[in-house]
Amino acid sequence: MLNLSARLMGRTKPVRSVWVERFALVADRLVAEHGLPRLGNYRDPVREIFYIMLSAKTADAQYRTTERLLNRRFPTVADLANGQLADIRRCILSGGLAAKRSRTLRAAARQLLRLGPRPSAVLKRLPVEDAFTAIVALPGVGIKSAFCVLMYSLRADVFPVDVNCQRIAVRLGALAPGLSHQKAQAALAPLVPVGRSRELHVGMVVHGRTICTPLRPKCDRCSLRPLCAYAKKHPPKES
């Protein structure tokens, strides 16, 4: 069956791959190990848009702080759309790239207001395909960021591929190494079993932060070892 991620990215035929079934097993193991925690994301799609925009290439603690400061200073989309760039920069300065991000954030806020004075309510009412089109058209928002908003705020069954998802998929053997983020998103999302996107994404994010880390992954503690090509090539050393 063609999943929603694949349809939104323009695919017309389902992917035939053993990894559709294997990712169901991966999701089962990750849910058993980590549960399904909330990761600080928002149910309000507009606030989630700005949260995701600020999170790009920024440490977790930094973007959480800058998002709170921004929301406190500009509590509505209209406030942000009409804000002074200098004021926006001050709120997000500690997260880096403040000059560029301040312009992008304000431009996105102004574009969101074209949906109406309450863009969050509009996005929640729209069919998921139309909501995706509106979100991905915003300045500074790509497919992965749009999928995050759809998944976390609008409860859509889509799979955003972040760095943790990509790293784990490569180590499992499901994804070729060295792909650009865009190519990884296009290759991996269609492999996710229907109905399992949120479980798999959240599980991979938590697992990538705690177990399957970029350096010195904790393979001896990993619940995915029986499914993992990297673990087979790098067995734990005997003590």
Dig out the tokens for 142 from the structure: 């790509």
How large is the average pLDDT for residues 107-111? 98
pLDDT of amino acid 238? 60
Quickly list DSSP for 172-183: HTSS-TT--HHH
Whether pLDDT at 239 is above 60: no
Residue 216 Cα distances to 132, 173, 204, 211, 236, angstroms: 37, 18, 17, 9, 11
pLDDT of amino acid 56? 84
Percent of the chain at pLDDT above 90? 87
User: For residues 42 and 98, what is the distance between their CA atoms, to the nearest angstrom?
Assistant: 22
Is residue 152 very low, low, confident or very high in pLDDT (cuts 50, 70, 90)? very high
How large is the average pLDDT for residues 114-135? 98
Length of the chain: 239
Q: Which domains does the chain have, with CATH numbers?
A: 4-37+159-233 (1.10.1670.10), 45-154 (1.10.340.30)
How large is the average pLDDT for residues 129-134? 98
pLDDT of amino acid 125? 98
pLDDT of amino acid 141? 97
pLDDT of amino acid 182? 93
**165-178, pLDDT tens digit by residue?**
999 999 999 999 99
Dig out the tokens for 46 from the structure: 């507009």
The sign of the dihedral angle between the CA atoms of 17, 22, 27, 30 is negative
Chain mean pLDDT for the chain = 94
pLDDT of amino acid 60? 80
Q: What region, left, alpha or beta, does residue 155 occupy, with left being phi > 0 and alpha being psi -120 to 50 degrees?
A: left
Residue 183: CB atoms within 10 Å: 14
Whether pLDDT at 159 is above 70: yes
Question: By C-alpha distance, which of 54, 11, 32, 4 is closest to 199?
Answer: 32
Residue 114, classed as helix, strand or coil, is: helix
pLDDT of amino acid 128? 98
Give the count of alpha carbons within 13 A of 225, CB side only: 14
The pTM of the full predicted model, rounded to 2 decimals, is 0.93
187, with CB counted inside 10 A (0-12, 13-18, 19+), is middle
User: For residues 12 and 129, what is the distance between their CA atoms, to the nearest angstrom?
Assistant: 14
- Chain-centroid distance, C-alpha 34: 18
| Residue 73 dihedral angles phi and psi, to the nearest 5° | -80, -35
**191-236, pLDDT tens digit by residue?**
999 999 999 999 999 999 999 999 999 999 999 999 999 999 987 7
Whether pLDDT at 237 is above 80: no
Is residue 156 very low, low, confident or very high in pLDDT (cuts 50, 70, 90)? very high
User: For residues 29 and 45, what is the distance between their CA atoms, to the nearest angstrom?
Assistant: 29
Percent of the chain at pLDDT above 70? 98
Is residue 14 very low, low, confident or very high in pLDDT (cuts 50, 70, 90)? confident
